[in-house]
Structures are given as C-alpha cells and as structure tokens.
C-alpha cells in the first residue's frame, strides 16, 4: 500500500524531483532543479508579464515619459520606444524574454505599436488572472480570447479608411502620428515630409502590389547642428574620404564606376620565388607592376568614368595614376553601400576592371567630399530617379541623434505599411474603444463562461485609451466614461483621447491616424503571447551551470579533503 501511494505521489508530480519507490528514494530530476506547478506557476508567470508591461506603460502616447537605460559598460540609452527599452533591459526570466520577443516581432513586422502590444498582452493576462480566481479553466479563457480577436479584426476592417497612395498629406499625418510622443515631436512635420519623400522614392510596384524595402533608405547619424538640419539626399552618402590628396574633391556630371575588385597587382595563390641577379631585372619587374596598374586606370578612363567606388583596396601607384587622370576614387566601400550606389546611380557593379564599359557606368549631378562633424564623407547627389536615398540625421547631442533615428525608423515603417496596405484608422485609442463596445455587445450572444473571457478582452483592449489618459495627467474614469458615451453615436468610432486638450475629440479631424496593419498585428501578437503564457502550468528550471572558477575551487576543496 505504501509503495502504491508513493508511486501515485510521484505520478501526480507533487514531488517529481524525488520519488519514493518501496521506501527507496529515486532521483528523477537533477539536483538543484526547481519546479513550480499549477496555479503557483501560472500566477508567477502572469506577475512577471505584468511587471514587464508596467515598465513600458508610462511611455505610451504623446505625453509619455522616457526611460534611461544604463548597460554594464555604462553606456546610456534614453528612449520611449517600447522595442528599444525592452531590448536594452537585458531581462533574465524566460517569461520576460517572451514579452521582449513579441515587441521585437511587432517591430520587425510593422515597425511600430510595440508599446501597445506589450501593454495589451499584460492587460489580457491581468484580466485572465481574475477569471482564474473564479475557477475558470485557462482553455475556456483562451477560447473566449480567440473569438474576441476575430471580432476585433472585423471591427478594424469595417472602420478602416482606404487611402490614395498619391495623397501625400495623409501619408504625412501617418508619419507625424508615429513621431508624436517622441523627442523630435517639435519638428515632426518637417521630418514627416522627408519620410514620405524617401519612402515613395524607394517604393516599387510589383504586379498590383507596392513593396517597400526600407534597407534602401540609408540613415547616417552625425551630431552637431539641430534636428531640423537633417536632410534628404537623392543619392547615397558614403562614410569614407577620397583616397588621394591630389584627386578632385568635387565632380559635377559624374560618371560613376562601381568596382568589386582590388586595383592592385594580385599576389599569386601559390608561394613563388623570383631570383633577381641584375638591377635591370628589378627595374623591369617594378616597371611591369606599374604598367599593369596603369593599364587598369587607362581602362577606367577609356570607359569614361570620372568617379570610382572600389569595394576592395587601391594600390598607392594606382591612386597616383587615378589622381593624374583627374578621377575621384574611394576605396573599401561597404558591400551594402555599393548596392545602394548601384540602385541610386544606375551603375552596374563589375568584378573585373576589363569588364568596365560605358554602359556599366552610373550617373549623378554631383559627387563631392564634405566635412561634417569633423569627419569627411562623400556625397553622391542628384541621381536621376534613384531607387535608393539617404537621410542625414543631425542633432545637438549624440543621444538626441540616436532618438531621432529611432523616431525616423518608426515613421518610415508606418508610411511603408500604408503604401503596402493602404488602410488607416483614427488614433488616440479610438479603435480600441470601438472594439471594446462591439465586444460587450457580442459577449452575451456567446453566453456561458466564454462570455466572461470576451468581456475581459474588451477591458484589456480598453487599457490603451485609459493609459493615454493616465499618462497625460487626466482622470481615466471620466475620459473612459465620456469615450464610451460618444462611441454609442453613429460617428462615435472616430473619437479618441485628445491628450493636449484633455478631452475626447474626432481623431480624423485632428490628423491623428495610424495604419490598419499596425493595430491588427498588435492585437494578434498580444493575444498569442497571452495564450502562450496562460497554457503553461508547470515550470521546471534546471540548476544553473557552475562557472569554471567555481568548478576549480570545488576541485581544490575535494583534493584538500582527500589529502587531509
């Protein structure tokens, strides 16, 4: 009987680490392993997810606060971008890492809405905790959440407004909304204009769809000046300097050669020995090297090039011949920059100098070396219909430049989202308030325990307008009451929280608009994360590996004990 009871105890998992079989202890898990099961595991996981959500909650909205993050080396990051904050936080717990992953997934997929995603995921788990306390099973909660998500997506599609991709004014509003809560908010209209021009320049039509590869928008950061001094270059900025002092520093009507080969005399792949017995032979040997380099430069000149960008090295003698021919040359250019130059100038990258022809050359109105913030850079400007562009970001402080870059990436992403999927929604928590209203109408139709889960989903989604109000110093109860009342009207779906005036207002009138895909992805990511965390009822953590130092000390102690 004792044996049977002990077996049952081990099977139930009440003490999986140490089972008793016939009075003999049997070690199942490694020594030092910790285990949490059932409600204890779920509650702990929810608590950690809520803590992560709380960490970024105060950054939401135009009046959200910034976070200062200091890494182990003492480097400082100041930001209110959800993905940046969570990435820099260097969290340890696996559930916290999972929350970081959903913010990264949101950032990679649509480029914005990371803070909203984490907040909604945290609130979904907070609401689920209340239902778990009422003995509602996690699978019933998840079933309700899944139904609620489908309704939410339908509401968003129903309220989405189609955008004409030639409507630059609307695209500028989308970009400005993404930068509203950032440190660059004061110059957001100026930056929004740069953003729209840059994205439209690199957009490509493939069949009926428009695709935007943001990798072809080069962002170059240089501290100095003000953020308003940032500018869009219809071409590429190469963060290198001209290789020879005698070369021209400015070339107009440039004919550009892109060479992915060294302008040097190639070394033999096998070891070779040349025996020289006469000074004339040495002179002939050097002369031959010189001739080879001169032939390369002559080939470049004959092709009509007056600017050379080389991905590899350029020999000193080749530099001399290029300078003599009046050709501006830059060496060791990054592969990514070479690709951007090819797209911007229309040049073809050649892997052999012999393959260089006039047809392989690109063109630009101006190639010039300029000194910016004590560093020399080569600007390739005025390219005819460039498929790659650059934005030079300026700012008084290095931290300000970094945050301006993060803001621009968000703005570029949302404009690209709208070009690829041309639908927008009012911002300011308006879609979330509309979803909450529709879910509360839908919940009684489902009935049963799932009804409670759907209502809980509505409360969680409504946390976005509530947080916007809290972060702006407004009374969230008054704002939510007013928002719910307005959303009962026919045109109420457009109304959200106007944080500057401290009231509920028409977000479309205020020009606060967001892409549909950002909202959809935020809800999907948050619901998936909540589902993943709620399904975990057992956490088995292995003992941490000992460091080599600890192992060494342990061995020393063992040896000492043996000796004694």
- Report the catalytic residues: 81, 114-115, 410
3-state SS class at 380: strand
Tell me the two tokens of residue 87. 């990435």
Continuous segment of H or E residues that includes residue 48: helix 38-57
Contacts of 346 (CB under 8 A, 6+ apart): 362, 363, 383, 384
3-state SS class at 234: coil
Closest to 469 in 3D by CA, of 434, 443, 496: 496
- Is there a contact between 235 and 386 (Cβ–Cβ < 8 Å)? yes
- Is there a contact between 231 and 195 (Cβ–Cβ < 8 Å)? no
Sheet of 513-515, strand order? 161-162, 423-426, 513-515
- Is there a contact between 254 and 364 (Cβ–Cβ < 8 Å)? yes
Calpha distance 195→215 (Å, rounded): 14
Calpha distance 220→232 (Å, rounded): 10
Contacts of 249 (CB under 8 A, 6+ apart): 242, 328, 368, 369
Calpha distance 34→55 (Å, rounded): 27
Angle at 217 between CA 106 and CA 255, to 5 degrees: 160
Continuous segment of H or E residues that includes residue 252: strand 250-259
Calpha distance 346→359 (Å, rounded): 10
Calpha distance 256→362 (Å, rounded): 5
Number of Cβ atoms within 10 Å of the Cβ of 503: 13
Buried b (16+ CB within 10 A) or exposed e, 114-142: bbbbbbbbbbbbbbbbebbeeebebeebb
Angle at 71 between CA 70 and CA 74, to 5 degrees: 75
Q: Is 296 exposed, middle or buried, given 0-12, 13-18 or 19+ CB atoms closer than 10 A?
A: buried
């Amino acid at each position: 009987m004792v044996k049977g009871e002990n077996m049952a105890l081990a099977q139930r998992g009440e003490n999986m680490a140490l089972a008793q079989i016939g009075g003999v202890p049997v070690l199942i898990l490694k020594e030092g392993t910790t285990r949490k099961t059932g409600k204890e595991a779920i509650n702990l996981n929810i608590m950690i997810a809520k803590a992560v959500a709380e960490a970024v909650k105060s950054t939401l909205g135009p009046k959200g606060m910034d976070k200062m993050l200091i890494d182990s080396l003492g480097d400082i990051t100041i930001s209110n971008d959800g993905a940046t904050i969570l990435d820099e936080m260097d969290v340890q717990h696996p559930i916290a890492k999972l929350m970081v992953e959903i913010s990264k997934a949101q950032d990679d997929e649509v480029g914005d809405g990371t803070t909203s995603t984490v907040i909604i995921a945290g609130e979904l788990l907070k609401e689920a905790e209340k239902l778990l306390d009422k003995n509602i099973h996690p699978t019933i909660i998840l079933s309700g959440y899944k139904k609620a998500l489908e309704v939410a997506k339908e509401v968003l599609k129903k309220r989405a407004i189609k955008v004409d991709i030639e409507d630059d004014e609307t695209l500028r509003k989308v970009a400005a909304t993404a930068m509203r809560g950032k440190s660059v908010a004061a110059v957001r209209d100026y930056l929004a204009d740069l953003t729209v021009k840059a994205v439209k320049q690199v957009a490509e039509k493939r069949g009926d769809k428009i695709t935007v590869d943001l990798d072809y928008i080069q962002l170059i950061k240089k501290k100095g000046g003000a953020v308003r001094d940032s500018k869009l270059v219809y071409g590429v900025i190469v963060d290198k300097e001209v290789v020879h002092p005698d070369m021209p520093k400015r070339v107009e009507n440039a004919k550009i050669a892109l060479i992915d080969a060294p302008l040097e005399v190639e070394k033999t792949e096998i070891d070779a020995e040349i025996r020289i017995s006469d000074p004339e032979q040495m002179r002939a040997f050097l002369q031959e090297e010189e001739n080879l380099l001169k032939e390369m430069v002559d080939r470049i000149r004959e092709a009509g090039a007056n600017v050379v960008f080389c991905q590899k090295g350029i020999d000193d003698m080749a530099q001399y011949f290029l300078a003599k021919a009046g050709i501006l040359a830059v060496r060791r250019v990054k592969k990514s920059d070479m690709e951007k130059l090819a797209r911007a100038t229309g040049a073809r990258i050649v892997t052999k100098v012999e393959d260089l022809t006039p047809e392989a050359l690109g063109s630009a109105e101006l190639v010039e070396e300029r000194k910016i913030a004590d560093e020399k850079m080569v600007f390739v400007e005025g390219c005819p219909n460039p498929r790659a562009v650059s934005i030079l970001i300026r700012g008084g402080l290095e931290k300000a430049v970094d945050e301006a870059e993060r803001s621009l990436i968000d703005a570029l992403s949302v404009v690209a989202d709208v070009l690829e999927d041309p639908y927008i929604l009012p911002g300011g928590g308006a879609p979330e308030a509309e979803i909450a209203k529709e879910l509360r109408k839908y919940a009684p139709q489902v009935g049963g325990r799932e009804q409670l889960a759907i209502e809980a989903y509505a409360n969680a989604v409504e946390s976005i307008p509530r947080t916007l109000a809290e972060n702006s110093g407004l009374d969230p109860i008054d704002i939510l009451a007013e928002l719910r009342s307005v959303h009962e009207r026919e045109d109420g779906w457009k109304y959200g929280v106007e944080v500057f005036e401290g009231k509920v207002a028409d977000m479309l009138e205020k020009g606060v608009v967001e892409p549909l895909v950002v909202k959809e992805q935020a809800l999907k990511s948050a619901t998936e994360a909540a589902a993943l965390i709620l399904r975990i009822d057992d956490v088995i953590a292995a003992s941490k590996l000992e460091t080599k130092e600890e192992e060494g000390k342990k061995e020393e102690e063992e040896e000492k004990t043996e000796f004694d």
